[in-house]
Amino acid sequence: MYLAPDHVHALNNLVWLLATCPQTDLQDPERALTLAGRAVVLAPQSPFVLDTYAEALFLNHRIDEALAAAKKALELSRDRRDYYQDQVRRFQEYL
């Protein structure tokens, strides 16, 4: 991230890794949320960025906000709508 701190795809991939990595010692939900927020500022209409942001919110126990971000991702998506709908349902289960 030092070479291209505003590269949305790289930033989004780093956030996803920090949020969901199976190797738990690499997970850092708080940092993931901070970086995800930056990615949303850079690409506020990107479904995949909003989805990653929703995941980071969810992992930080901010379920209402996660659901709102997931719904926005679904609204903006043109493909992978089944995936985004599943994310909305998943977050709704925790309300």
**pLDDT tens, 59-72?**
999 999 999 999 99
Cβ–Cβ contacts within 10 Å for residue 18, how many?
22
Q: Give the per-residue pLDDT at 92.
A: 98
**pLDDT tens, 17-44?**
999 999 999 999 999 999 999 999 999 9
User: Residue ranges of the alpha helices (H) in 1-95?
Assistant: 8-20, 29-42, 47-59, 63-76, 81-92
